[in-house]
Amino acid sequence: MCHDKLQRKGADHLDPHAHDEDHRNWSRRNFLRTLGLGGAAGIGLNFMPLTSLYGFPLASALGGTFSDRKLVLIRLKGGNDGLNTFVPLYDYDQYRNFRPNLHHPMNELIGLNDQFAMPTAMNDLKSLWDNGQMRVINSVGYPDHNLSHFTGADIMASGNNDVANNGDGWLARYYTLLNPEYLENPASDPPAIKIGGPTSILFNDKDKVDISANFASASRLEELAQTGITYNNTLAPDNCYYGEQVLFLRTIANAASIYSKAIFDAYNNAQTTAEYGSSLGEQLQLVARLIKGGLKTQLYLVTLDGFDTHVGQNKSADHLGLLENLSTAVSDFYADLGDLGGEVLSMTYSEFGRRVMENGFSGTDHGTALPVMLFGPALEGADTHGKNPDLQDLDPSGNLKFGTDFRSIYATLLERWLCINAGQVDEILGSNYPRLNDIGISCLSTSTERTLSPKMYEHSIATLGNGQYQINFDLPKGADVTITLHTISGRMIRQIGARYYHQGPQAVPFSIADLQVGLVPMVYTVTVDGQRFAKQFMASSR
């Protein structure tokens, strides 16, 4: 990976071959992730793939007590141009000077306030703005902003800059923190649903297991929702090698069958009332129908692709077309939800913004800070927030300087929308990021607050080598304790111990040397007086 991000090959169109190669590499890695191959595909006890790359059984886990609030993330894939999304009226002349071919004329703008306007292509959002159901947070970014599509997207999805060593998603951390036994207490509804964007680690846990129901397209989700049927694994081609590969891919696709009943039931419990007319709209239409049908899934990710506008950005089918797509889809989404919209908050995000100055191809190259949009009746008034983009004070590369760290937005959503306590928010994000106190969301009812299961018993596992392990835990009082070992799919391998343990620190050794397995994910569970604590670990018999 190139460490000089400003000179990274492919970041602009000065070298078209390098740019195309960058996208090919990006697409190859995305394809692998779509199949769940980003992590270590372990081998099970019978030398078979461990529950189809071991991620999917836990994607049906939705334990714990949840409010009805939903969070829908709308990814603007490719790097959205914030200056052409919300035009700075306060410095319009400088904006026009930087973009002689790409600026929006004043007669093609819709004023939001005395500082910002949006292009007329976004007209469908005007009613949301006028009804107090839209907010804009300007100049969102982070220090030393990464200009790579792939790494930049991972940073935004993970909430930390060191994605090579900390590549789990911030919403996966939220879910697993509140549901420490998500492996042991699965439910029928998926924790999250991801549509149309196979390239996000947003819902990957620390073991690179995707806890979401992942659909490559809206049509794929709709097919399952309408029929409950996935690919037929009995009809693989006769050719041995090719047939095995097709069967393998179909098995992965069939992972959705774990929660197919919940999706099927919710889909058939509701109808769509709005006339969606865009590609993003197809995704949000399904989200609305599942919410209206009673699906308990709380987290959603949908994707609108095409924002890598190096060339021909001013064409009506390019950036303006994408903004129109977004505006129509979001407007239709909340019209469809009706009264349920008050429990649904939507947020846009993108891996980066665009450079302030247009390039020589009627486009804009990879940039830094950008606006984030929030939508929903819960916002209690329309407004713009954060530092206004300063066109007079750019960084050495001609990029905007950020004013709001994107993790402050995440922290605010976790505490004020998903309603968990401040300590848990800081644990999820790894630091205390300032909350945004004026963006119109709050937890008004303490009944929606959620807390972790009591951590009465600290526990850990130590690797001793040669298939030998030791579980350590500390009992504040004597208790009956049962310890079991499971595959990641929940199948019990053996019981390690079941007896009364005295007060104080305990060390329980066990061996898996007889299992003859390579490096595979496993789970141990400690049950103390009926209260269970579980932990994943990577195990090997060698």
Question: pLDDT class for 226, splitting at 50, 70, 90?
Answer: confident
Q: Which residues pair with 45 in a beta bridge?
A: none
Which H helix or E strand runs over 246?
helix 240-253
Q: Rounded to an integer, what distance in angstroms lies between the CA atom of residue 500 and that of residue 183?
A: 25
pLDDT tens by residue, 30-62: 433 333 322 222 222 222 222 222 233 333 332
Query: In the prediction, which pLDDT does 81 show?
Result: 98
Tokens of 238: 């006769």
Q: Which of 190, 188, 189, 210 has its CA nearest to residue 199? A: 210
For the CA atoms of 451, 453, 459, 462, the dihedral, rounded to the nearest 10 degrees, stands at: -70
Residue range 157-173: mean pLDDT, rounded: 89
| Contact (Cβ atoms closer than 8 angstroms) between residue 488 and residue 496 | no
> Residues 485, 523: contact at Cβ < 8 Å?
yes
User: Is residue 360 packed enough to be buried (19+ CB in 10 Å), middle (13-18) or exposed (0-12)?
Assistant: exposed
Q: Model confidence at 214, in pLDDT bands (50, 70, 90)?
A: confident
Task: Give the per-residue SS3 of 353-388.
Answer: CECCCCCCCCCCCECCCEEEEEECHHHCCCEEECCC
For residue 373, pLDDT beyond 60: yes
The torsion angles phi and psi of 224, rounded to 5 degrees, stand at -65, -40
Fold topology of 50-448: Alkaline Phosphatase, subunit A (3.40.720)
Q: Model pTM?
A: 0.72
Per DSSP, the three-state class of 86 is coil
The predicted structure's pLDDT at residue 339: 92
Break the chain into its structural domains and give their ranges: 50-448, 459-539
Name the more confident of 86 and 315.
86
Q: Which of 15-19, 205-209, 362-366, 389-393 has the lowest mean pLDDT?
A: 15-19
Tally of CB atoms within 10 A around 187: 16
* Alpha carbons 2 and 63: distance in angstroms, whole number: 42
Per residue in 503-523, pLDDT (tens digit) is 889 999 999 999 888 888 788
User: Are the C-beta atoms of 144 and 368 separated by less than 8 Å?
Assistant: no
Average pLDDT, rounded, for the chain: 81
- Give yes or no for a contact between 42 and 50, defined as CB atoms under 8 angstroms apart: yes
Q: State the fold for domain 459-539.
A: Immunoglobulin-like (2.60.40)
Least-confidence region, from 51-55, 91-95, 432-436, 526-530: 51-55
Distance in angstroms (rounded) separating the CA atoms of residues 314 and 320: 7
Per the rule left: phi > 0, alpha: psi between -120 and 50, beta: everything else, 398 is: left
Per-position DSSP letters for 118-151, written without gaps between them: EEGGGGGGHHHHHTT-EEEEEEEE-TT----HHH
Q: For residue range 387-418, list pLDDT tens digits in order.
A: 999 999 999 999 999 999 999 999 999 999 99
